[in-house]
Amino acid sequence: MSVLSIRLPDSLHQVVKTVAAEDSISINQFIASAVAEKVSALTTEKYIQERASRASKTQFETVLANVPDVEPQAFDRK
């Protein structure tokens, strides 16, 4: 495990302290969770962009053309 020293504005530190206390977790746990969420969001965005770059509108339309043209069942209507 790594040790980091970070500088936060006093106002942000107070909010982090309050929110962590409300969740009954340490500030370290709160910050680790916040960093994990941000990393997850960024890597997910990159993954989606990579998938989109390999997309083919022609292939999509080919697959879509194979979908039967029928009315949806009652539970799927709204």
Average pLDDT score over residue span 37-47: 95
Q: What is the pLDDT of residues 43-67, one digit of tens each?
A: 999 999 999 999 999 999 999 999 9
Query: Measuring CA to CA, how many Å separate 50 from each of 35, 37, 39, 40, 67?
Result: 23, 20, 16, 15, 26
For residue 68, pLDDT over 80 is answered with yes
pLDDT band at 15 (very low <50, low <70, confident <90, very high): very high
Residue 18 has a pLDDT of: 98
For residue 78, pLDDT over 80 is answered with no
Backbone angles phi, psi at 46, to 5 degrees: -65, -45
Backbone angles phi, psi at 51, to 5 degrees: -65, -40
